[in-house]
Amino acid sequence: MTEPGSTTAAGLRSVAAHTISGTVSTGDRPDFRRITLPEAVLRPPAELPAPPGTHNLPAPDGRAFAGREQQLARLAGLPPAGIAVVHGLGGVGKSTLALQYARARLDRHTLTWWLTADTPDHLTTGLDALTRRLHPALAAVTTTEEGAAWALAWLQSHRGWLLVLDNVEDERDVRELTGLTTGRLLLTTRRSRGRLAATVIHLEVLTEPAATAVLTALTGPDDPADTLALARELGCLPLALHQAGSYIARTRTDTATYLRRLRQHPGRMYDRPGDGRDGERTIARIWNLSLAAVDEADPGATTVLRALAFLAPDDLPRAALLSLFTTEDQEGADLDLDEALATLADYGLITLTRETVSVHRLLQAVLRTTEPAPDPGEDPAGLAFAFGCVNATLADSTPGEPAAWPQWQALLPHVDAVLARIEHPGPGVAGLCQATARYLRAQGLPARALPYAERALAITEAAYGPADPQTSTRLGALAHTLHELGRTTEALPLAERAAAVGEAAWGPDHARTGAAVGDLAVIHFALGDHRRALALEERALAIAEAAHGPLHEEFATRLSNIAVVYREAGRLTEAARCAERALALSERLLAPDDPMIAIRLGNLGVVYGALGRYPEVLELDRRALAIAEAAHGPDHPTLVTRHGNLATAYVHLDRHAEALPHAERAAELARRTLGSRHPDTALAIGRHGLVLLDLGRSAEALELSRLAVEISEAALGPDHPETAVRLGTLGTVLRQLGRPAEAVEVEERVLRIEEAVYGPDHPTLCATLGNLALSYRAAGRPAEALPLARRALTIAERSWPEAHPSLPVLGGNLAEALTGLGRPAEAVPHLHRALARLERLYGDHPTTLTYLHRLAETLTEAEQDEEALAARRRALDLTERLHGPDHVEIAYALSAVRFSLTALDRHAEAVPLDERALAVLERTLGPDHPESLGHLYDLTEDLLALDRPAEALPPAERAVGLAERAHGAAAAETGAALTALGYVLYLLGRHEEALPVERRALAATEAALGPDHPATGSCLGNLGHALRELGRHAEALPLELRAVAVTEAAGEADPESPALAKRLLNLARTHLALGHPTEAGPLLHRAAALPAHPGTAEQITALLAEVSPPHQGV
């Protein structure tokens, strides 16, 4: 075949020939088959339609499906050539959603094809499978790549199909497919970043109702609470729910058992398939794929994820993770963190915003268990990473300072989470526990702070021993926390131990020893042991002076603290001196606008308030507010106290309208800066309510008082002493609203709380006992009020020195209780004692004046009129010293003295007082002020009592004119003035002039008060009398009949009133004048049987004697 010297074979098993005319095969097993294809097989893809219903969708797995209605609706709206991308965390149900959508719409697509798209090879294989389904004959003559190409050509040439690209890892792998425009594409992916023009659906976990529905469908009915608890434990993640539900159904266990096992053995349970077969479809296996990819892409991202596993799942500030990236270049650390977070977000393992990072709680549980052994414990390095994150972030913050609160608020859930997982803590953990407790106390959450304070002490004591100075600090902090919880008795031994340990460690004259001694003083003070508290504060003051000298801010702080104890101990002069020294020292040492100056001003204001120096308090609080606003701005939480104090100062000055904006501002600021559940917010809201009550806005006051109680109960508990204070305010509001029965119920609860906290003889109970006594009296239970008032005064006199400002108040309360029982003579000595205490305490002061008036009133009730007169003269003298000779209060004091003089029938002495009172009012209020009306009546009455009606006429006439100008012609005040004028004219014998005046009096009174009012009855009688004096008896008769009827109706309410006897006498006279003796006799007999003034009774007796016996029968 091959000629010598011509063509030569190139190598082994190659063929060479000069001429080849047939088939040549080489190899071990050559295939000589010949395939002949029909012409139809070679048709182009565009000419080959898909059989109806063609699809390769996975079979339904029978799993429960719920809670995705909204997402299905969005997919249903996809345009014919649209692309949708469903992305989310592994196990969140992306593929299940896609399968549900595709199966539900099989009849709407010419073809539905499912492609696994995690690698290019899987995509190619899936497309080749499509070719083999549509054109089986090509399988024998095409490679896999050729089959995939044919499938692409088919998709390009046909419309109305749906491709599902499941688990896309790299968008570049599906670029050819996403460029198609002849059908719909639905992609599922864990990756969130993409550049496709697509409808993007970020799939979240299920809602709790949907999650419980899925579990119930899988497990059958079970305890709803257990089902919900398991759904929450699994984070409502669909794959976890199916894994758990299938396991429960397969093993015939119950939800509670699975939940218990899950918590005990998380690693095993998350890796255990529910159906016993599909081991690759477990939470652990699904996520391990992503975790491996992340670790390969960016090991720093793995470190972040390990730290996130031990923090709270939601809203970690991104900056808290910076400590994981140690570099001298801060910008470099920021870049490394950003890249790590981007990688994690790209794989759907975290939710990333500009400020925060969140991670699914189930992913955290998987991450916390280390491989490969089942349940070997938690990742210690990850826990260390997490602790380092929060500890480093908070290292430079001051938890008690409001500026640090936003950072603490954001990190607190993460601090809680990481500290809860540290089983063998070191000293660093104690520091974070202590700082956390301090922050929580600043937020008014001592109950939440307590376990952290206890743990800080336990760690420190274990690490350093019971005698270490750090142990002293932790003891003091725990004592402070217990005190804020109202558990002050438990706090005392801890505070004593803190002081003892501190003194042994630092020495008796060290500044920190002084601080511990001062803290111990606070506890004794709260327990009512003011003597011991004062001794400790004095020692703390001496230590501060020895340690720092008398020109140091710490010395000023000690002075300020001792002033508080002096104030509560009733040593107000010493309290004022210390508070003044503290302020002066701070002003000398600090800048004039330093915030501490505002605190010192406020403290001095409290002492001055106890001294009743309210105008000075107002100026101090105004200045304190201005400094605080300048230092902190208008929205700082410190201003809650400043505005509240200023509101209180205005209230004490009876300037309630000016108090209101400050009370409102304090409450609003507290809500915004401290939160709606802070105890100080409750205080501000309660104060706001009291100001509204003073302004007559009772409904709003009651609502705010109730809200303050609710806040305190939620923050501190129902039996905390601060809750008792808020309840006390509510009781006051209810009593002033005329609801004493409700006030009693509330104040009895206050008393029970305080007795439980402080014991039965603590001075804190005094105010509550006094308030409860007032409410008992208002509720018509005066006998029950008396022992409470006595008990309050007894406790106070035993607990406080003679100069304590509460003693006169409690003495006055006891006097009121006695007076309320009709025992004013017994009340008088208590008022004398209260007044003496006030004079020693305050000297010439408005409170002293108030008690002088109370004493005079009680003396009058005790029928000790001379003593009452002397008291009122003293009150007049004090009023002049306080206000000067031309103040409105002078007129009122003159009127009070005049009252006592008239009770003694000394009208001649009363007249000049009436005239002086009128002159004062004219000078201060003007000649036409309505306040002058009462004094004009007094002058008229006194002149008439002296039988000087002619002199009484001008003030009576002036009173009518003033009443008409001030109140109008149809007012009760005008009717009263006209009545008085009519009586003066009658006494002057000017009956014709009196008659129209009496008619006007009746018209004004009836218009103002109605036809059945007792005052209308008096006017009817007066007009009838005027007509009778003019001999017009027939006209008088109907008026006097009406007068009797009105007075009879009024007498049912007051059967002891002498008015009816007087009306019956006048009516009898009219009947006699008209010649009706038979009508007069019965009237006189009725009148004789009724209460009457002595003069009226004599007239009735005399007139009966004139009536002949036949006319006396009934």
Give 312-324 pLDDT, tens digit per residue: 988 999 999 998 8
Tell me: the pLDDT tens digits for 751-797? Answer: 999 999 888 998 889 999 999 999 999 999 999 999 999 999 999 99
Please give the Cα distance from 584 to 600 (Å, whole number): 9
pLDDT at 873 over 80: yes
Residue 734 confidence (pLDDT) above 60: yes
Pairing of strands 316-317, 199-202: unpaired
User: How would residue 250 be classed by pLDDT, with cut points 50, 70 and 90?
Assistant: confident
643-695 pLDDT, tens digit each:
999 999 999 998 999 999 999 999 999 999 888 888 899 999 999 999 999 99
Arithmetic mean of pLDDT, 399-405: 85
Q: What is the mean pLDDT of the chain?
A: 88
Residue 519 has pLDDT above 50, yes or no: yes
Gap between the Cα atoms of 516 and 361, Å rounded: 43
Contact between residue 68 and residue 97 where contact means Cβ atoms under 8 Å apart: yes
Average pLDDT over residues 523-551: 89
- Give the range among 21-30, 243-252, 841-850, 903-912 with minimum mean pLDDT: 21-30
Q: Is the pLDDT of residue 1 over 70?
A: no
Say what the pLDDT of residue 325 is.
87
Q: How far apart are CA 849 and CA 843, in angstroms?
A: 10
In the structure, what pLDDT confidence band is assigned to residue 296 with cuts at 50, 70 and 90? confident
For residues 878 and 377, which has the higher predicted lDDT (pLDDT)?
A: 878
Contact in structure between 116 and 173 (CB atoms under 8 Å) = no
Give the mean model confidence (pLDDT) for residues 1094-1109. 82
Task: Kindly list the domain boundaries of the chain, sorted by start residue.
Answer: 54-202, 208-270, 641-737, 1056-1112
pLDDT above 60: residue 374: no
Task: Pick the most confident of 79-83, 481-485, 1006-1010.
Answer: 1006-1010
Q: Are 80 and 68 in contact (CB under 8 A)?
A: no
Rounded to whole angstroms, the Cα distance separating 946 from 959 reads 19
Confidence of residue 961 (pLDDT cuts 50, 70, 90): very high
- State the alpha helices, DSSP H only, in 846-927: 846-861, 865-883, 888-903, 907-925
> Which ranges constitute the DSSP H helices of 83-119?
94-104
The residue with tokens 């906290």 is: 757
- Residue 1052 has a pLDDT of 56
pLDDT for the residue 130: 94
Q: What is the pLDDT of residue 91?
A: 80
Q: How confident is the model at residue 1109 (pLDDT cuts 50, 70, 90)?
A: low
Q: What pLDDT does 187 receive? A: 93
Is residue 328's pLDDT more than 70? no
pLDDT in tens, 1055-1085: 677 888 898 999 999 999 999 988 998 998 8
Residue type, 246: S
pLDDT at 400: 83
* Whole-number Cα distances in Å, 558 to 533, 545, 605: 13, 9, 17
pLDDT of residue 80: 85
Q: Omega into 372 within 30° of 0, i.e. cis?
A: yes
DSSP string, 620-655: HHHHHHHHHHHHH-TT-THHHHHHHHHHHHHHHTT-
| Position with higher pLDDT, 374 vs 1044 | 1044
Separation of alpha carbons 272 and 731, rounded Å: 61
Higher pLDDT: 39 or 75? It is 75
pLDDT confidence tier of residue 268, bands split at 50, 70 and 90: low
- The average pLDDT across 342-350 equals 83
Q: How confident is the model at residue 373 (pLDDT cuts 50, 70, 90)?
A: very low
Please tell me the predicted confidence (pLDDT) of residue 330.
67
Residue range 54-202, CATH number? 3.40.50.300
**pLDDT at 996 (0 to 100):** 96
Residue 1078 makes CB contacts below 8 A (sequence gap 6+) with 1111
pLDDT tens digit sequence for 1023-1034? 999 999 999 999
For residue 370, the model assigns a pLDDT of: 53
* Contact status, residue 545 vs residue 585, Cβ threshold 8 Å: no
pLDDT tens, residue by residue, 598-626: 999 999 999 999 888 899 999 999 999 99
Rounded Cα distance between 360 and 240, Å, is 12
Q: How far apart are CA 914 and CA 959, in angstroms?
A: 14
Q: Which long-range contacts (CB under 8 A, 24 or more apart) does 451-459 make?
A: 452/419, 453/477, 453/478, 453/481, 454/478, 455/419, 455/425, 455/429, 455/430, 456/430, 456/431, 459/425, 459/426, 459/427, 459/429, 459/430, 459/433
Q: Do the beta carbons of residue 609 and residue 649 sit within 8 Å?
A: yes
Asked if residue 10 has pLDDT above 90, the reply is no
The pLDDT-based confidence of 30 (bands split at 50, 70, 90) is: low
Share of residues in the chain with pLDDT > 70 (%): 91
Examine the pLDDT at 639 and tell me if it is beyond 90.
yes
Phi, psi (rounded to 5 degrees) for 274: -70, -35
What is the mean pLDDT of the segment spanning 36-47?
A: 73
- Split at pLDDT 50, 70, 90, the class of 253 is confident
Tens digit of each residue's pLDDT (9 = 90 or more) over 101-150: 999 999 999 999 999 898 898 999 999 999 999 988 887 778 889 889 99
pLDDT in the model for residue 278: 45
Task: Report the pLDDT averaged over residues 1076-1095.
Answer: 88
* Nearest Cα to Cα of residue 700 among 690, 713, 710, 712: 690
φ, ψ of residue 638 to 5 degrees: the values are -60, -30
pLDDT of residue 283: 67
* CATH code for the part of the protein at 641-737: 1.25.40.10
pLDDT at 633 > cutoff 70: yes
The percent of residues above 90 in pLDDT, for the chain, comes to 57
Four-point Cα dihedral 401, 405, 408, 412, nearest 10? 120
The pLDDT of 64-90, averaged and rounded, is 87
576, 564 in Cβ contact below 8 A?
no
Phi, psi (degrees; rounded to nearest 5) at 200:
-105, 125
